[in-house]
Amino acid sequence: MSRIYHSKLVNSTKMVKDAHANKYAIGHFNINNLEWTKSILEAAQESNTPVIIATSEGALKYMGGAPVVVGMVNGLLETLNITVPVALHLDHGQSVEMAKKCIEAGYSSVMFDGSHLPYEENISKVKELMDFANEHEVSVEAEIGSIGGEEDGVVGEGELGDPNQAAEMATTGITMLAAGIGNIHGKYPEWWKSLSFDTLEELQAACKLPMVLHGGSGIPQDQVEKAIKLGISKINVNTELQLAFRDATREYIEAKKDLDDEAKGFDPRKLLAPGYKALKQTFMDLTKVFGCQGKA
Ligand code: 13P
């Protein structure tokens, strides 16, 4: 395997282990483009915060593939003089092949999401990935149960993780475990009440690993803090950043600033600037709650 790029990236292992031991959580932020990446890296550096930058398979395809993402992130680490620990993570990798492809391209952390598979198949694929990941010193996240979300217009709560499966997953050598604990991707519906803290406690006692909270957008602060106390060490956020970007961009357009030709309000660097600033502020607000600011 040859890594094309010189890289300052680190894997997620030390970050999430430190967070687990000291009861805070690392922010995992999904990126979509240059503005997203730059704002998160700058905010992380300014606040001395270790960070996990993540792409779903869809986002990485959108940006042109793993080598483009790796090139962009590594380039920014150099030119922005980023010295805080940064991991580049594949979010919800759907196959072992995809995870390996990202590792070869230079990702330092991967999730293999076999939650849609029968459990035996899920764990056997995790095992299949582990040798390759270890060889490249890449951290691995697996998932049991399932995270809720929208399917055919209906929002489901997902399936709670099973403690026996959590204990067995821990024996594979994975770095961290995601599990269904009543969490949902996207906006939480009106009827949603709470994370299942009993489930989280049981899973944590069974696996003793840093655990990952998916669907980190819009969970009330007291629940986030309680989840961190019970073993959540990485919190995934996507929708909240997108909403912040949307709101700031909408404000710019509603103020008709994009139509100010004299000020070149149509220049994408101006059009996207409010969203970029909003992303930075959202990062700062969330990482304060997660307790990871200043932990680099
Ligand atoms: P949200 O979009 O709900 O923040 O979830 C993000 C996530 O869990 C990515 O894996």
pLDDT in tens, 219-278: 999 999 999 999 999 999 999 999 999 999 999 999 999 999 999 999 999 999 999 999
From 18, 10, 22, select the one nearest 176 (Cα to Cα): 18
Q: Is the CB of 141 under 6 A from ligand 1?
A: no
| Cα gap 219→48, rounded to integer Å | 24
pLDDT in tens, 144-174: 999 998 877 778 889 999 999 999 999 999 9
Strands 26-30 and 86-93: unpaired
Q: Is the CB of 240 under 6 A from ligand 1?
A: yes
pLDDT at residue 154 in the model: 77
Sequence-ordered list of residues with C-beta below 8 angstroms from that of 99, at least 6 positions apart, any chain: 90, 93, 110, 111, 112, 129, 133, 140
Q: Of all helices (H) and strands (E), which one includes residue 1?
A: none
Spatial contact of 20 and 212, defined as CB atoms under 8 Å apart? no
As a whole-number percent, the residues of the chain with pLDDT over 90 amount to 94
| Cα gap 30→27, rounded to integer Å | 10
Spatial contact of 2 and 32, defined as CB atoms under 8 Å apart? no
> Atom 1, ligand 1: which residue's CA is nearest?
215
As a whole-number percent, the residues of the chain with pLDDT over 70 amount to 98
Domain coordinates in residue numbering, the chain? 13-238
From 143, 290, 125, select the one nearest 221 (Cα to Cα): 290
Residue 5 reports pLDDT greater than 90: no
| Cα gap 176→157, rounded to integer Å | 22
Residue 124 reports pLDDT greater than 80: yes
**One-letter amino acid for residue 282 of the chain:** T
Q: Tell me if 185 is assigned to a ligand binding site.
A: yes
Q: Is the CB of 91 under 6 A from ligand 1?
A: yes
Q: Which atom of ligand 1 is nearest to the CA of 185?
A: 3
| Cα gap 64→172, rounded to integer Å | 32
Provide the pLDDT confidence category of residue 139 given band limits of 50, 70 and 90.
very high
pLDDT in tens, 193-233: 899 999 999 999 999 999 999 999 999 999 999 999 999 99
- Give me ligand 1 centre to Cα 241, in Å: 10
91 is catalytic: yes
Strands 26-30 and 51-56: parallel
Q: Tell me if 97 is assigned to a ligand binding site.
A: no
Residue 29 reports pLDDT greater than 50: yes
CA 194 vs CA 46, 183, 222, 227: distances in Å: 33, 8, 11, 11
- The residues facing 29 across adjacent strands are 53, 237
pLDDT at residue 1 in the model: 46
Mean pLDDT of 94-117: 97
Mean pLDDT of 24-51: 98
| Cα gap 270→42, rounded to integer Å | 18
Provide the pLDDT confidence category of residue 4 given band limits of 50, 70 and 90.
low
Q: Tell me if 116 is assigned to a ligand binding site.
A: no
- The residues facing 56 across adjacent strands are 91
Report the sign of the C-alpha dihedral through residues 63, 69, 73, 79, in that order.
negative
Strands 26-30 and 232-237: parallel
pLDDT at residue 281 in the model: 98
13-238 domain in CATH 3.20.20.70?
yes
pLDDT, averaged across the chain = 96
From 56, 89, 77, 65, select the one nearest 6 (Cα to Cα): 77
- Give me ligand 1 centre to Cα 155, in Å: 14
CA 74 vs CA 34, 70, 78, 256, 282: distances in Å: 12, 6, 6, 36, 23
Q: Is the CB of 149 under 6 A from ligand 1?
A: no
- Give me ligand 1 centre to Cα 253, in Å: 27
From 88, 68, 65, select the one nearest 7 (Cα to Cα): 88
Q: Ligand 1 test: best mutation among 155, 224, 236, 246, most atoms within 8 Å of CB?
A: 236
pLDDT at residue 157 in the model: 82
- The residues facing 232 across adjacent strands are 211
Residue 31's Cβ-count burial label (10 Å; 0-12, 13-18, 19+) is buried
